[in-house]
């Protein structure tokens, strides 16, 4: 895996070019988001963007390592308006999945699950295999939040030690300057509001 792709245990993370985020001024494509812009979040109201960074994975890199390829969710793949339009994300990027889609979860229990866990469950969610460069965008807020991309609740970048070690050093330095306690006590960055799972039994056609 290229060194400067943000990743978790589940793989590289980020939103692909073209994803629309909710802002007070309406929808804005992720590639047009800038530091200081306000984004509508699920539980924390309007939050200012602290850092935004991207990494382009070339077609050659994708051919050499298919695990870097994005996952595409067709419109309404998860639920009505989730997503409202087709969405592509990195395979390790976590999506907020309703409990009624997951076995052994209460209907109202939301879980953050890597997109790769859903790839291939049916023809509405699959790994994109076609050739071409792909750019992944990540956004850092003052805390780990959930916001909507094309109507799908997704997570923001979480600066864990492993994730910071994986990204470009200059970006990592920007993040640690904003959150200096991360150098000695990474646990000081606010924890996720929702439980996370690496694996889950998804109900693709449950109703």
DSSP class of residue 102?
A: B
Q: Flag the least confident range among 83-87, 112-116, 194-198, 199-203.
A: 199-203
pLDDT of 38 over the 60 cut: yes
**Which residue shows structure tokens 């988001």?**
33
pLDDT attached to residue 207: 46
What is the value of pTM for the model shown?
A: 0.92
Give the angle 163-141-197 at the CA atoms, nearest 5°.
50
Q: Which long-range contacts (CB under 8 A, 24 or more apart) does 121-124 make?
A: 121/202, 121/204, 122/204, 122/205, 123/74, 124/73, 124/74, 124/76, 124/77
Sign of CA dihedral 128, 131, 132, 138: positive
pLDDT tens for residues 64-80? 999 999 999 999 999 99
pLDDT of 45 over the 80 cut: yes
Mean pLDDT for all residues in the chain = 92
Could you give the C-alpha distances from 183 to 64, 126, 144, 156, 178, in angstroms and in order?
Answer: 33, 37, 17, 20, 11
The upper half-sphere exposure of residue 17, i.e. CA atoms within 13 Å in the direction of its Cβ, equals 8
Give residue 2's pLDDT band: very low, low, confident or very high (50, 70, 90): low
Give residue 174's pLDDT band: very low, low, confident or very high (50, 70, 90): very high
Q: Which residues pair with 146 in a beta bridge?
A: 155
Give residue 16's pLDDT band: very low, low, confident or very high (50, 70, 90): very high
Could you give the C-alpha distances from 15 to 106, 108, 134, 177, in angstroms and in order?
Answer: 28, 26, 10, 24
Task: Tell me what the mean pLDDT of segment 181-190 comes to.
Answer: 91
Percent of the chain whose pLDDT exceeds 90: 79
Residue 149 C-alpha from the chain's centroid:
9
Coil, strand or helix at 160: coil
Coil, strand or helix at 191: coil
Q: Which residues pair with 20 in a beta bridge?
A: 29
User: Which residues touch 207 (CB under 8 Å, ≥6 apart)?
Assistant: none
């Amino acid at each position: 895996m290229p060194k400067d792709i943000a990743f978790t245990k589940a793989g590289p993370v980020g939103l692909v070019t073209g994803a629309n985020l909710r802002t007070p001024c309406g929808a804005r494509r992720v590639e047009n988001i800038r530091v200081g812009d306000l984004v509508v979040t699920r539980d924390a109201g309007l939050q200012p963007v602290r850092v935004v960074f991207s990494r382009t994975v070339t077609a050659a890199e994708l051919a050499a390592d298919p695990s870097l390829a994005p996952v595409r969710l067709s419109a309404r793949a998860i639920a009505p308006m989730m997503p409202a339009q087709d969405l592509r994300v990195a395979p390790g990027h976590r999506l907020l999945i309703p409990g009624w889609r997951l076995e052994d979860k209460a209907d109202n229990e939301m879980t953050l699950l890597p997109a790769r866990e859903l790839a291939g469950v049916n023809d509405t969610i699959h790994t994109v295999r076609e050739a071409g460069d792909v750019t992944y965008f990540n956004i850092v807020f003052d805390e780990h939040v959930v916001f909507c991309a094309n109507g799908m609740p997704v997570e923001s970048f979480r600066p864990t030690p492993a994730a910071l070690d994986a990204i470009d050093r200059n970006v990592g330095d920007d993040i640690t300057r904003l959150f200096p306690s991360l150098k000695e006590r990474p646990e000081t960055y606010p924890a996720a509001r929702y439980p996370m799972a690496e694996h889950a039994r998804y109900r693709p056609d449950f109703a």
